[in-house]
Structure 1
Amino acid sequence: MKKLDRNRQMDVLLLHNKVTGTHITRLAEKIAAFHKRTDIIYKKDCWDLHLKFNDLAAEIPYLQQFAGEAGEDRADIINRAIDCSNSFMERQHHLLMGRLEAGYFRDCHGDLHSRNIFLLPSPQPFDCIEFNDEYRQIDVLNEVAFLCMDLEAFGRPELSGMFISDYNRFFPAIRSPEEQQLFLYYKAYRANIRAKVNVLRARGADDDLGRDALLTEAGKYLLLMDGYLNDLNAGSPAS
């Protein structure tokens, strides 16, 4: 077993502004190559995505109790997000089914974000989801949306844009305006999940300071989710 240099982990490099365009292009090429050769999934319940999205509603009472003055605002964001998610999925369920039939659902990494990537001469993702096939066998666009959302959470939207542009050049996964909208939805979904994870961690915090820090982090992802969904609504034919 070889121990990798923690200083080459992508999240650490992002904090020190050391992630370059070359890193991003090499990573996009590697992820695209992996997605091209991994198993295609032809049987999948595409409709369960919005149910996972709606799970965040269970955290509203906790946020209202412990998030201070922001609690009600966070609750409003969640309720708006769920309405938007339900509406989008009703309109675009056919799009998901079409992508499933076209082979865009594959046996992916499942947890592709900057803390799970080393930027070596050849980028090295690690720590894929092995314990749950359902979380790993997803639309490739859902997979890369996680990384792009993470880059934007670090305040690097230009790297996110570069990654999806390069990835789409190596493996065209966005071929239409509808699929561009789906990519936005997937980013909102990933921000939703990160928000929920931070709220659940806050519930188990040992002290008020730790709890408040985690709730602040959850709030960051809720605002990011809200921004994606506002963009989604702005681009919707029904808007």
Structure 2
Amino acid sequence: MSHNVQPALIKNLLSNLRQSPETPSPDSVTLLETHISWIILTGSIAYKLKKPVDLGFLNFSTLAQRKYYCEEELRLNARLAPDVYLGVNTVNGSEDKPMIEGDGPVIEYAILMREFPQSAQLDNRLKQGLLSSENMEAIGTMLADFHLQLPPALLTNEYGDLAQIHQLVDDNITVLKAYLSDDETTLSSIEEWIDKQNKALAPFFIQRKQNGFIRECHGDLHLRNLIWIDDHPVAFDCLEFDESLRWIDVMCEVAFLVMDLLSRQQTALAYAFLNQYLQQTGDYAGLALLPYYISYRALVRAKIDALRDQQSGISPQEFKATETELHAYMDLALQISQYKQPTLIITRGLSASGKSSISKPLAAELGAIRIRSDVERKRLNNLKATDSAATTVETGLYSKQATQDTYHRLLEVTEQTLAAGFDVIVDAVFMHKAQRQSFQRLAEKMGYRFVILEFTASVELLKQRIVSRKKEASDADLNVLVHQLRQWQALDSDEANYCLEVSTEVPVDVNALAILTTNFPQH
């Protein structure tokens, strides 16, 4: 079917749907258009038809190809959005008299979808001020659950190979070099960093594939492809037209959403999502590749903007908006490439002193990775964070050996994460000096900034909190608190210089605490 007759089919479909007795209101039938699709809205149901185009990177030019990719889109999105993607319908008859699931020959295919308001898209919710840290944490949990159940790619295929990863990155550079020929300074700096990273990260890329982290992901996970509906997040519009762009490292998928938020100056939302994802999966080792993949995703979007700017018929307003967006992506890629001295923050405080409740929003505000002893202790024993491991003091998961193993795990993950260039908050009691000392030595050895956040509250308030708090990762009860109080000792003089005390007797201003922590003097 030729491209120039397709709009007649769409026009007649719109007319027929407006006249259909099943349509609630003729005025509710409207058309949305992208560069590869038409979406007909009816008020409750949407029909998505693929345009008969061949753009090189995708080919929908034949009816058989459009049928195949409609079915692929349905298969892929059934994994994350089964209530949105309802089936594939035929369009029958003729271009003059097309009917959905009608009589006569099949002339087109349409994906049948549940319609949702555009205001549900997360890019629109962000503009409306309706996107919260809790929303992003829910997305972190949703994506973690999705990734954990995906089978890994076969080691024999090319997905996740060094050559393939490098080629995808090089394709972006080639397009951007041609477009930004008058101003190559930024791109040259980014390209130089990428070349160094390709060499430095080669063993990590190889190990990730061997360890099964290349999986058939969503492939196009950014705010415009996420909705908040029925009080939970839904990811839709999986990338169906090129399997090499969705059989990727799960951390490359995470990087897309993190990049999208960072490019919009939404650091707290990005890290609320990222920390929840990491807490669920434990994939802190993947952070070694995250800056590289954030840069890659920023350059992909910059390339798309560059190509859009060169299309005929683009309006001056659209050109200006696209240029602004392109340079935001380039600025982010440049920022990622520049070294920043990481900061290591450890908490210290009795159970229920507010370590976890404050360190979570603080990590988001600072753009730091939070590593929790309560969670990692249970991960070491193949338990979920919310599984109960309550026992008598210093037995079971809380024996001296188990606690030693937990702090060793915390140190190991902290070392990896700092080496990847991220600030870290370690959320733990840190009761004994030996536990704190290994982290202090790491910071001093590597030249990282080091801060101890000591959380305090009255014993009476601690007891009230323990009795009344909801069950989460911590198993601490009143017996644990009593045990801690008996052993508690003040910080030594060599530690006191690093200590910032945080009283939780009154509500804590997290933004102010973030500023204090960032500017805390180093001795």
Same fold, judged at TM 0.5 (above): yes
Residue 202 of structure 1, aligned match among 306, 309, 312: 309
1:28 matched to which residue of 2?
140
In structure 2, the CA distance between the partners of 1:8 and 1:226, relative to structure 1 (3 Å rule), is: same
What is the DSSP-based 3-state SS (H/G/I as helix, E as strand, rest coil) of the residue aligned with 1:51?
A: helix
Q: CA deviation at 1:180?
A: 2.6
Q: Distance in 2 between matches of 1:33 and 1:42?
A: 21
Q: CA deviation at 1:59?
A: 2.9
What is the DSSP-based 3-state SS (H/G/I as helix, E as strand, rest coil) of the residue aligned with 2:237?
A: coil
Which is greater in Rg? 2
Q: CA deviation at 1:131?
A: 1.4
What is the DSSP-based 3-state SS (H/G/I as helix, E as strand, rest coil) of the residue aligned with 2:153?
A: coil
Alpha-carbon contact 2:219-2:238 (below 8 Å) kept = yes
Q: Deviation per CA, 1:100-119: give whole Å up to 9, x if none.
A: 11111111000000000001
Q: CA deviation at 1:233?
A: 10
Q: Distance in 1 between matches of 2:420 and 2:118?
A: 42
**Letter in structure 2 aligned against 1:63:** L
In structure 2, the CA distance between the partners of 1:232 and 1:129, relative to structure 1 (3 Å rule), is: farther
**Letter in structure 1 aligned against 2:204:** L
Q: Distance in 2 between matches of 1:236 and 1:37?
A: 26
1:182 matched to which residue of 2?
289
Residue 212 of structure 2, aligned match among 82, 97, 103: 103
Alpha-carbon contact 1:140-1:173 (below 8 Å) kept = no
What is the DSSP-based 3-state SS (H/G/I as helix, E as strand, rest coil) of the residue aligned with 1:123?
A: strand
Q: Distance in 2 between matches of 1:57 and 1:225?
A: 16
Q: CA deviation at 1:205?
A: 4.5
Give the count of matched residue pairs.
226
Q: CA deviation at 1:81?
A: 1.3
What is the DSSP-based 3-state SS (H/G/I as helix, E as strand, rest coil) of the residue aligned with 2:201?
A: helix
Residue 50 of structure 1, aligned match among 166, 169, 180: 166
1:134 matched to which residue of 2?
244
2:299 pairs with 1:192: yes
Which has the higher relative contact order, 1 or 2, with Cα contacts under 8 A spaced 6 or more apart? 1
Residue 11 of structure 1, aligned match among 123, 131, 148: 123
Larger helix fraction of residues = 1
Q: Distance in 2 between matches of 1:105 and 1:89?
A: 18
Residue 221 of structure 1, aligned match among 307, 320, 329: 329
Alpha-carbon contact 1:14-1:154 (below 8 Å) kept = no
What is the DSSP-based 3-state SS (H/G/I as helix, E as strand, rest coil) of the residue aligned with 1:188?
A: helix
Q: Distance in 2 between matches of 1:117 and 1:158?
A: 18
CA RMSD in angstroms comes to: 2.1
2:158 pairs with 1:41: no
What is the DSSP-based 3-state SS (H/G/I as helix, E as strand, rest coil) of the residue aligned with 1:138?
A: strand
Alpha-carbon contact 2:175-2:303 (below 8 Å) kept = no
What is the DSSP-based 3-state SS (H/G/I as helix, E as strand, rest coil) of the residue aligned with 1:106?
A: strand
Which piece of structure 1 moves more, 139-148 or 179-188?
179-188
Moved over 6 A (4+): 232-237
| Residue ranges of structure 1 left out of the alignment (5+ in a row) | 65-70
2:233 matched to which residue of 1?
123
**Letter in structure 2 aligned against 1:224:** L
2:171 pairs with 1:61: no
2:186 matched to which residue of 1?
77
1:68 matched to which residue of 2?
none
Alpha-carbon contact 1:205-1:211 (below 8 Å) kept = no
| Residue ranges of structure 2 left out of the alignment (5+ in a row) | 1-112, 343-418, 422-523
Alpha-carbon contact 1:185-1:232 (below 8 Å) kept = no
Q: Distance in 2 between matches of 1:193 and 1:233?
A: 27
Q: Deviation per CA, 1:35-91: give whole Å up to 9, x if none.
A: 011221133223322222222233323333xxxxxx41xx11112211211211111
Q: CA deviation at 1:206?
A: 2.0
1:93 matched to which residue of 2?
202
**Letter in structure 2 aligned against 1:47:** A
Q: CA deviation at 1:215?
A: 2.2
1:156 matched to which residue of 2?
266
Alpha-carbon contact 2:251-2:290 (below 8 Å) kept = yes
Alpha-carbon contact 2:153-2:216 (below 8 Å) kept = yes
In structure 2, the CA distance between the partners of 1:226 and 1:205, relative to structure 1 (3 Å rule), is: farther
Q: Distance in 2 between matches of 1:193 and 1:138?
A: 15
In structure 2, the CA distance between the partners of 1:212 and 1:61, relative to structure 1 (3 Å rule), is: farther
| TM-score, structure 2 normalization | 0.41
What is the DSSP-based 3-state SS (H/G/I as helix, E as strand, rest coil) of the residue aligned with 1:47?
A: helix
| TM-score, structure 1 normalization | 0.87
Which piece of structure 1 moves more, 154-163 or 34-43?
34-43
